[in-house]
Amino acid sequence: MTEHPPIAPGDWITVTGTDCVVINVFKPGSPFGVCKVVFNRAKPTTHDVDWDGTNWIFPQRPDYGGYGRDGDPYVRQLKLGRFA
């Protein structure tokens, strides 16, 4: 599998057609995947993300996710939009 593109918290990535803001990048080999993102401007939701060698994907393993808080800077960024 190829290495994923470099990412950092605050970066925008597209995961299976969904614009997302990276909120955390995990250490290599993490069982949670590559990073955690927040998406869904109407109801900010967090989810782990993997790299399949070509694309960012939401993993098939269970991920109970969570909800972003309005005061979080990444949630504010998400609500402003990708091209704000």
Is pTM, for the whole model, over 0.75?
yes
Cα separation, 32 vs 48, in Å, equals 6
The answer to whether residue 40 is domain-embedded is: yes
Model confidence pLDDT, tens digit, residues 59-84: 887 766 788 888 999 999 999 998 87
The answer to whether residue 7 is domain-embedded is: no
The answer to whether residue 1 is domain-embedded is: no
Query: Phi, psi at residue 42, to the nearest 5°?
Result: -70, -35
The answer to whether residue 24 is domain-embedded is: yes
The answer to whether residue 45 is domain-embedded is: yes
The answer to whether residue 4 is domain-embedded is: no
Taking the CB of residue 23, how many other CB atoms lie within 10 A of it? Answer: 20
Dmax over Cα atoms in the chain, in whole Å? 37
DSSP string for 32-70: T-SEEEEE-SSS-EEEEEEE-SSSEE--SS----EE--T
pLDDT band at 55 (very low <50, low <70, confident <90, very high): very high
Query: What's the whole-number average pLDDT of the chain?
Result: 92
Q: Which domain holds residue 41?
A: 12-80
Our count of domains for the chain comes to 1
The answer to whether residue 5 is domain-embedded is: no
pLDDT band at 22 (very low <50, low <70, confident <90, very high): very high
